[in-house]
């Protein structure tokens, strides 16, 4: 972990590091959880924002819930919701209730909801469907099948099969 100063965010980092020594906390350009490395990366910013505190608590939530891989897109949304619930508990535990910004949490969850909506929309008739395997959907309405990428970070292309 990088050398820390005295901001509220940095104090929280020190408390988390002391409480959960088995989770590596690594300064990076973004907030994320890496299950294979058992590490949480965090973005150290100049400003001490509640959003940074929430993002850190959310990623630590993934770690404490032992989140690993998911098979179906809907499972990812469930993992994200659970991590935000854990972040709320952690905020209360660490006395950061003021950082709890429900609009921010819902905005973050909306990115996953929007991603899921795009992937589950039939490219032919625009009906919503469920996955039938980790990278395939099939429309209930017109029976069109399409493939999707495993990556959550790329644009959701829907390739007809």
> Tell me, what's the pLDDT at 154?
56
Give the C-alpha distances (Å, rounded to integers) separating 63 from 54, 86, 113: 14, 10, 22
The contacts of residue 130 (CB under 8 Å, 6+ apart) are 74, 120, 137
**Whole-angstrom distance, CA of residue 136 vs CA of residue 122:** 11
Q: Would the pLDDT of 151 be above 80?
A: no
**Whole-angstrom distance, CA of residue 53 vs CA of residue 91:** 8
**Average pLDDT estimate for 66-79:** 94
Nearest Cα neighbor of 121 from 78, 75, 81, 156 is 156
Structural tokens at position 25 = 């906390």
All structural domains of the chain with their residue ranges: 8-119, 122-161
**Where do the H-state alpha helices sit in the chain?**
8-19, 50-64, 73-93, 102-119
Q: Which fold has domain 8-119?
A: Zincin-like (3.30.2010)
Residue 159 or residue 56, greater confidence: 56
Q: CB count, 10 Å around CB of 86?
A: 19
pLDDT in tens, 114-148: 999 999 999 999 999 989 999 999 999 999 999 98
Asked if residues 134 and 72 have their Cβ atoms less than 8 Å apart, the reply is: yes
> Tell me, what's the pLDDT at 4?
42
pLDDT in tens, 39-54: 999 998 767 678 899 9
Asked if residues 137 and 125 have their Cβ atoms less than 8 Å apart, the reply is: no
Give the C-alpha distances (Å, rounded to integers) separating 90 from 19, 36, 56, 84: 11, 23, 10, 10
Nearest Cα neighbor of 82 from 124, 48, 112, 122 is 112
> Tell me, what's the pLDDT at 160?
61
């Amino acid at each position: 972990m990088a050398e820390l100063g005295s901001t509220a965010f940095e104090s929280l980092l020190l408390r988390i590091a002391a409480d959960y020594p088995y989770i590596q906390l690594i300064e990076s350009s973004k907030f994320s959880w890496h299950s294979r490395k058992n590490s949480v990366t965090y973005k150290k910013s100049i400003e001490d924002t509640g959003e940074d505190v929430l993002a850190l608590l959310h990623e630590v939530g993934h770690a404490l819930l032992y989140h690993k891989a998911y098979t179906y897109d809907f499972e990812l949304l469930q993992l994200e919701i659970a991590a935000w619930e854990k972040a709320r508990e952690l905020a209360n535990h660490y006395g950061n209730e003021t950082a709890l910004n429900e609009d921010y949490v819902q905005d973050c969850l909306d990115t996953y909801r929007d991603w899921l909506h795009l992937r589950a929309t039939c490219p032919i008739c625009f009906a919503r469907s469920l996955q039938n395997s980790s990278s395939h959907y099939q429309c209930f309405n017109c029976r069109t099948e399409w493939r999707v990428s495993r990556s959550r970070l790329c644009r959701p292309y829907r390739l007809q099969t």
